[in-house]
Amino acid sequence: MRKEYRLRDRAHEDLLQDLLHARGIEDTELQQMFLSPDFERDSHDPMLLPDMEKAVARVWDAKQRGEKVAVWSDYDADGLPAGVMLTQFLKSIGVDVIHHIPHRNNEGFGLNENGIAMLAEKGVTLMITADCGTTDTQQMLFAKEKGIDTIVTDHHIVPEPIPTAQFALINPHRPDSAYPFHELCGAGTAWKLVQGILQKHRPENYMKGEEKWFLDLVGIATLSDMVLLQGENRMLAHFGLVVMRRARRPGLAALLKLLKMKPTTITEDDVGFMISPRINAASRMGDPMVAARLLAAGEDDNPAILAEELQALNDERKGVVAATVKEANKRLSEMTPSPLIVLGSPNWRPGILGLVASALVEAHGKPVFLWGREGGDTLKGSCRSDGAVNIVECMRGAHDVFADYGGHHGAGGFSLTEEHAHELHPKLEQAYTSLQTSTPAAVEVVIDREVELAELAHALRAVQKLAPFGVGHTKPLFKIPNVRVANIKMFGKTQNHLGLTLTTNSARAEGVAFFSGPDSFQKPITVGSTYSIVGHIELDWRGALRIRIIDVL
């Protein structure tokens, strides 16, 4: 979709004040609270969450009676750190606990009866979920039949009437919740159970504040799961990064060393682009426990070897994604052009199709729907929008084709039976066409401020005070006018990233645009020409200032 840029009115000479006001933070006291997150002030009472009292009592009873407890977590970069955090915490207070993570392709999201039966055989009598379980009524009833109580910690939408099969349902989205913040991720919700237990039963040897060392895991999850980065989430992300920079977790330190990243300068971008994809790669390629073992590793667990194993899975994931993108592009070249891309193959792994879809959207500028199969008769797929339409609304227009579907404006997932696969493209194209008629031809993008190339270091200091960034708190977007392109280079293993050297008479800076080339922007780039650059100001992995290029005008 075409972008039209508008420069925001300059309300204040001071850049930081201007950026705060543009984000609706105008009161002086609120500005100070925003710029200086405080753990005590920004944490809400966990006992305000429904069922917290009974959940805490049940966990403590299990500890006192020596029951075997299982933490059942999701396998992504929210649920998996949540599961490691809960498991390590429960062990630290003397609970007999094991961590179970379902297989993404063989078992799917949430609880399943085979896994529950296996836990029952191991003697588990209490199961605590992390980032899943809210709607798994039948599975929890099955667990009850096996003598297992279920405490759900989750943040997915709660259906009405509220499920009753669980022993306790801790979820900030419960309609009967008095908790003042509803946007916690899965790990954030599990963290409230930790806080609740310590509020009621802090062991004598558990120093006040010692639990904060688990915030690196909560921070990874909060920054990975695209939750609103305001209020309590901003605090959790902030202190999560503080703990990560201390590099106390041997597995995470080993991974950063392998990636040649300095722990002391780690940012939310490093979490989103370097750490989270590797955590997710483990489940996409079949073994989420590799990532769990890395995050839980002590010095005696060979963290360097675990880091290399996770990196190998990520490299394998990259190879599978690249091969699938190549196959999809070949098939597209042989097909009749369409306003959207709908492809599938029984040989494609469902776990990597979201990444493939994103690459195809980047290359073709169209909505993409892809399906694959791995175990069972059901086809599973992922979809991504080009920004022109809401991808869920598009699927809703073709709802009779799907067995299930869901997501948000830009991304989603679906399942369908093989007999409906041939109907998918025409039904989606019809739905897309009807939605497109009401979609504007261009999207307006607001630029926060125009700054000269020589002012970038000053602007960066203001940007860093506003970090970390995420959903609901986006990075400031700048326009840097009248800069000359002194050099163009392509870099990366497949030479698919663009690097620019930008100059004026008084300044010089580097710019980068990933998965882009000189012809990827509104104006094609040539050496020696002068442009206006639209982009973000940041530090690269070495700590050097650069511009993350969004467009060239």
DSSP conformation letters of 178-246: --S-----HHHHHHHHHHHHHHHH--TTS-TTGGGGGHHHHHHHHHHTT-B-SHHHHHHHHHHHHHHHH
CB 111 within 8 A of CB 139: yes
Global pTM value: 0.90
- Residue 195 pLDDT grade (very low, low, confident, very high; cuts 50, 70, 90): very high
Asked whether the predicted pLDDT for residue 312 surpasses 90, the reply is yes
pLDDT in tens, 442-459: 778 899 999 999 999 999
Q: Give pLDDT, residue 106.
A: 76
Domains of the chain: 43-246 (3.90.1640.30), 335-442 (3.10.310.30), 448-552 (2.40.50.140)
Pairwise CA distance, residues 340 & 328, whole Å: 13
- Name the β-bridge partners of 151: 128, 168
- Name the β-bridge partners of 42: none
Q: In what order do the strands lie in the sheet with 149-153?
A: 96-100, 68-73, 124-130, 149-153, 168-170
Pairwise CA distance, residues 499 & 511, whole Å: 6
pLDDT in tens, 407-439: 878 888 999 999 999 999 999 999 998 887 655
Question: Nearest to residue 466, comparing CAs of 536, 543, 545?
Answer: 536
What is the average pLDDT across 343-361?
93
If you count them, how many residues does the chain have?
A: 553
Coarse DSSP helix, strand, coil percentages of the chain, rounded to the nearest 5 percent: 45, 20, 35
How many beta carbons lie within 10 A of that of residue 380, not counting itself? Answer: 26
CB 222 within 8 A of CB 240: yes
pLDDT in tens, 519-532: 989 999 999 999 99
Pairwise CA distance, residues 155 & 186, whole Å: 5
Q: Give pLDDT, residue 372.
A: 94
- Name the β-bridge partners of 479: 450, 534
What is the average pLDDT across 289-302?
96
CB 414 within 8 A of CB 405: yes
Which residues of 338-378 form beta strands (DSSP E)? 341-344, 368-372
Residue-averaged pLDDT of the chain: 93
What is the average pLDDT across 110-122?
96
Secondary structure (H, E, C), 45-78: CHHHCCCHHHHHHHHHHHHHHCCEEEEEECCCCC
Q: Give pLDDT, residue 103.
A: 87
> According to DSSP H, which parts of 93-136 are helical?
113-121
Distances in Å between the Cα of 485 and the Cα atoms of 481, 492, 509, 529, 553 are 12, 20, 10, 6, 13
- How far from each other are the two terminal CA atoms of the chain, in whole angstroms? 16
Higher pLDDT, 515 or 257: 257
CB 371 within 8 A of CB 423: no
Q: What is the three-class DSSP state of 162?
A: coil
pLDDT in tens, 240-286: 999 999 999 999 999 999 999 989 989 999 999 999 999 999 998 87
Asked whether the predicted pLDDT for residue 441 surpasses 70, the reply is no
What is the average pLDDT across 52-56?
98
